[in-house]
Chain A
Amino acid sequence: MRIRRRLLNTFLIAGIGAGATVGGLTWHFAELAAAQGADDLREQILMFGAGGGAALLALLAVLGSALDRALTVPLTGLARGLKTSLHANPDHEIDGDAAAELGELSGAVLDAISAMAQGRAKLSAQIDDATQGIAVEKDRLEAVLRDLHEGVIICNLNHQILLYNHRAVELLHVSGEIGLGRSLFRFTNRQPFLHALERLNNRLIDGRGESRGLTAPFVASTSAGDVTLQCKMTLLTAEANEPSSYVITFDDRTHELAELGRRDHLLRQATDGMRRPLANLRAAAEILVEDPPDEPVLQQKFQQVVRDESHILSVAMEEISAEFREIITGHWPMTDIYSANLLNAAVRRLREDKGIEAIMTGVPHWLYGDSYTLLELLHFLAHAVQKVTGASMFDFEASGADGMVAVEIIWSGPAVSETNVQGWLSQQLDEALGGITVRGVLDRHRTDLWSLSGEDGRARIRLPLTAGQTEGELARGNLPARPEFYDFSLLNPDSHHEGLGSRPLKSLTYVVFDTETTGLKPSEGDEMISIAGVRVVNGRIMTGESFSRLIHPGREIPKSSIRFHGITDDMVEDQPSHDVILSEFHRYVDDAVLVAHNAAFDMKFLKLKEQATGVVFDNPVLDTLLLSVYLHDHIESHTLDAIAERFGVGVDAETRHTALGDSLVTAALFMKMIDLLEANGITTLDQARDAASKMVEVRKQQEQF
């Protein structure tokens, strides 16, 4: 319509303009003629002007009306038709007569409309097919989920429920629907799920997901706390190995776990409980046979003991077997736990509390247990110790020996009395499931705990746990050690760190470090691909403040070296180059004494990069290999593994031959060496460096044989 109005307006204005112009001119020439006295001419001019003007206006009117009919009417019709086909009816046919007036344009528009209609039909057919396929898949999935005896819930990383099955609703004792998009924690307690998710995330970040899988068993309860759930969480990853959501499968284990508690109790009764009457019986019986008393009264007393205790034993035996028959077997889910993850979680938990702090120290070990209840126990113990002793700074440390891993909480101050420890046993752990007590957690892990004070004014709580099964299995088999490097100039840089030399070894700050490289020949193009270190302060290995980076070597990593370090080209692809990492490491080291095993090897790599990066490591350096030669010069083997075995330091096979893993082992060995060095009268840094330098010659000679 707008086109038509504009057309009419244009013609109207053109008409008025033409009329005015013709009128004006006619009038002007007529007046000109009149002024010259030619009245005839004026009459003629006026007549021709009026006639011409009228003809011009008539022409304009005819032209306008023709345009209107030929263009605007069919265009408007076409526009209306198009609108109808697009929005209402794709099969609508555009008015043929009107369209015909527009010639090719209308043909093109009609073609476009029919192509569009066909496309639409095809698309909707495809959508129908796909929808049907999805519906079939969905039915199948629903059938599987419905028939599962276990509850299944899938959540996104914000713990919003994306999918669940009927069994999940039953197990959580929810009436009606759970409701998609609602938080999982409306129905369950929070901590065990968060803890399991964190563990799986750590596994993913550490790159252990492939070898260990991304599934973790754990125990949780409903939000009301009346139902104990045995759960399994699997982390789902999207592209680029990013976690996207998680699946939980779970089952009600309230009954089984209660049974399990009874069974444990029974087992104790059957073992420890039987020992008591048996001891009474055996002692009396042996007296009667081997060394009978002379007086008849006393003899009679012992006979009485034999009869009474035998009777007690029989009754106890009957009770136990009767009860045992009722009990079904089950098991509390225990898994291998990396102590660094457990202790780190405990440190983070404590950080949320006010007035209490903790750090993780020592070399991590694998242990076997229920991660969540142990975490709760450690959290409880730190607070309990603070209440008794007033200590507020704690070290969490794990140490291994004889198939056990002891988790220790260490503080400055007095030990906690056994009276206090006994008092803790019956206390319930905060937020933990089903009101489990300290004793419950200890029983479940078949262990106990106690407090001791050390000679250094520091006291500790010791909690022995079973070592994990992972430990001891060599992940990469036995690999040959690096050849030894002797270039003492590398270990004695022109240090500006004066005054350290006379300081006692125990008072110094060290960074124990290790590198992984593309090969053994730094001068022939081999490069560092990883560097890691751990700080040692006041005899404590500060595991929580370690440094560990991969480096882009600027060259290909030889396949033959991968079995040593497990680092591939893909892994270093996006990593920074030497200059960035070495200056970071330089800041981390600060003015600490550097310690490494076969230190000349690692120092050579650092030295060769000095020119290019401008990062100079002129710190004093100690070599644990040379110190070991000094301490045990009669023994030939001074590989990291050999020394670890000699000192009884557990080596974690999974992290051995990683820069950080080897740094931690070296740090643990170095701690042991400092004690031995002191016993040999070597107490200062200078003395230790002198001792090491003398060993360079000794070792070179040993090599020749």
Chain B
Amino acid sequence: MSKSVFIVEREANLRLSLSYLLERKGYQVRALEDGDAGAAAVSEAPPDLVLLGIDLDMRGGFDLCQCFRADPACKDMKIIFLTSKARSVERGKGLALGANAYITKPFANADLLAQVASVLET
């Protein structure tokens, strides 16, 4: 069965590209535009991986990440931050709160796909 990936991303144009890229690789993709929608979708049925933004409307990405990590239903779900926050302190915070990887924008599509694949393998 193919792995499922949720994209929680504020930028519509990036949601388009990310969805296209991941679908081409055979993942089941669902794109969500804000924190509340992301939280609701995950609580319905946790995917294998969430690509999570940090600056989101409604609820921030750090907040979501901490909640997911506290929820036993999501214990196998992988989290990758995908963000324009590039300072090492922010990266440190993201990983400290339980993310599996932290990717800063802009990124090469190939690198993103490789990162997604490697996180899903572990």
Residues of A in contact with B (beta carbons under 8 Å apart) = 271-273, 275-276, 278-284, 286-287, 290-291, 293, 298, 301-302, 305, 308-309, 417-419, 421-422, 446-448, 450, 452, 462, 464
User: Contacts A273-B84, A284-B17, A287-B20; is A450 near B106 (CB within 8 Å)?
Assistant: no
Please state if B13 and A305 are interface contacts (CB–CB under 8 Å). Answer: yes
User: Contacts A448-B89, A450-B96; is A276 near B20 (CB within 8 Å)?
Assistant: no
State how many angstroms separate the Cβ of A55 from the closest Cβ of chain B. 124
Most buried by A among B13, B97, B106: B13
**Is B105 on the interface with A (CB-CB < 8 A)?**
yes
How many angstroms between the C-alpha atoms of A450 and B99 in the bound complex? 14
Please state if A272 and B84 are interface contacts (CB–CB under 8 Å). Answer: yes
Closest-by-CB residue of A relative to B82 is: A279
State how many angstroms separate the Cβ of A404 from the closest Cβ of chain B. 8
Which B15-46 residues have C-beta < 8 A from chain A? 16-18, 20-21, 24
Please state if B13 and A309 are interface contacts (CB–CB under 8 Å). Answer: yes
Please state if A279 and B63 are interface contacts (CB–CB under 8 Å). Answer: no
* 24 sampled A-B residue pairs with Cβ under 8 A: A271-B86, A272-B86, A276-B11, A276-B14, A279-B14, A279-B84, A280-B17, A282-B107, A282-B109, A283-B14, A283-B21, A283-B106, A283-B109, A284-B13, A287-B20, A287-B21, A287-B109, A290-B109, A291-B24, A293-B20, A302-B16, A417-B67, A419-B63, A448-B93
**Is B75 on the interface with A (CB-CB < 8 A)?**
no
Q: Chain B at the A interface: mostly helix, strand, loop or mixed?
A: helix
- B-chain residues with CB within 8 Å of residue A281 when the two chains form the complex: 106
- B-chain residues with CB within 8 Å of residue A287 when the two chains form the complex: 17, 20-21, 109
How many angstroms between the C-alpha atoms of A308 and B12 in the bound complex? 12
State how many angstroms separate the Cβ of A271 from the closest Cβ of chain B. 7
**Is B90 on the interface with A (CB-CB < 8 A)?**
yes
Please state if B109 and A276 are interface contacts (CB–CB under 8 Å). Answer: no
Which of B14, B20, B59, B62 meets A280, CB within 8 Å?
Answer: B14
Q: Chain A at the B interface: mostly helix, strand, loop or mixed?
A: helix
- A-chain residues with CB within 8 Å of residue B59 when the two chains form the complex: 419
How many angstroms between the C-alpha atoms of A305 and B104 in the bound complex? 20
Please state if A422 and B84 are interface contacts (CB–CB under 8 Å). Answer: no
Closest-by-CB residue of B relative to A466 is: B89
Please state if A276 and B96 are interface contacts (CB–CB under 8 Å). Answer: no
User: Contacts A283-B18, A419-B63; is A447 near B84 (CB within 8 Å)?
Assistant: no
Please state if A422 and B63 are interface contacts (CB–CB under 8 Å). Answer: yes
Please state if B96 and A452 are interface contacts (CB–CB under 8 Å). Answer: yes
Most buried by B among A281, A293, A448: A448
State how many angstroms separate the Cβ of A246 from the closest Cβ of chain B. 35
Residues of B in contact with A (beta carbons under 8 Å apart) = 11, 13-14, 16-18, 20-21, 24, 59-60, 62-63, 65-67, 84-87, 89-90, 92-93, 96-97, 104-110
- A-chain residues with CB within 8 Å of residue B16 when the two chains form the complex: 284, 301-302, 305
How many angstroms between the C-alpha atoms of A446 and B96 in the bound complex? 18
Please state if B84 and A275 are interface contacts (CB–CB under 8 Å). Answer: yes
Closest-by-CB residue of A relative to B10 is: A276
Q: Given known contacts A272-B84, A284-B16, A452-B97, what 9 new A-B pairs fall within 8 Å (CB)?
A: A272-B86, A276-B105, A280-B11, A282-B106, A283-B17, A418-B60, A422-B62, A450-B96, A452-B96
Please state if B66 and A417 are interface contacts (CB–CB under 8 Å). Answer: yes
State how many angstroms separate the Cβ of B67 from the closest Cβ of chain A. 8
Please state if A308 and B93 are interface contacts (CB–CB under 8 Å). Answer: no
- A-chain residues with CB within 8 Å of residue B20 when the two chains form the complex: 287, 293, 298, 302
Closest-by-CB residue of A relative to B64 is: A418
Please state if B109 and A286 are interface contacts (CB–CB under 8 Å). Answer: yes
Closest-by-CB residue of B relative to A453 is: B70
How many angstroms between the C-alpha atoms of A272 and B92 in the bound complex? 17
How many angstroms between the C-alpha atoms of A462 and B93 in the bound complex? 9
- A-chain residues with CB within 8 Å of residue B86 when the two chains form the complex: 271-272, 275
Closest-by-CB residue of A relative to B18 is: A283
Please state if B60 and A422 are interface contacts (CB–CB under 8 Å). Answer: yes
How many angstroms between the C-alpha atoms of A447 and B93 in the bound complex? 10
State how many angstroms separate the Cβ of B25 from the closest Cβ of chain A. 10
- A-chain residues with CB within 8 Å of residue B60 when the two chains form the complex: 418, 422
Please state if B66 and A418 are interface contacts (CB–CB under 8 Å). Answer: yes
Please state if B66 and A279 are interface contacts (CB–CB under 8 Å). Answer: no
Closest-by-CB residue of A relative to B97 is: A450
Please state if B105 and A275 are interface contacts (CB–CB under 8 Å). Answer: yes
State how many angstroms separate the Cβ of A604 from the closest Cβ of chain B. 46
Most buried by A among B11, B17, B59, B93: B17
Closest-by-CB residue of B relative to A293 is: B20
State how many angstroms separate the Cβ of B21 from the closest Cβ of chain A. 7
- B-chain residues with CB within 8 Å of residue A272 when the two chains form the complex: 84-86
How many angstroms between the C-alpha atoms of A302 and B108 in the bound complex? 16
How many angstroms between the C-alpha atoms of A531 and B85 in the bound complex? 49
How many angstroms between the C-alpha atoms of A141 and B16 in the bound complex? 72
How many angstroms between the C-alpha atoms of A278 and B97 in the bound complex? 27
User: Contacts A284-B17, A308-B13; is A279 near B107 (CB within 8 Å)?
Assistant: yes
How many angstroms between the C-alpha atoms of A283 and B111 in the bound complex? 11
How many angstroms between the C-alpha atoms of A272 and B91 in the bound complex? 13
Please state if A302 and B17 are interface contacts (CB–CB under 8 Å). Answer: yes
Please state if B24 and A305 are interface contacts (CB–CB under 8 Å). Answer: no
State how many angstroms separate the Cβ of B41 from the closest Cβ of chain A. 19
Most buried by A among B24, B106, B107: B106
- A-chain residues with CB within 8 Å of residue B87 when the two chains form the complex: 446, 448
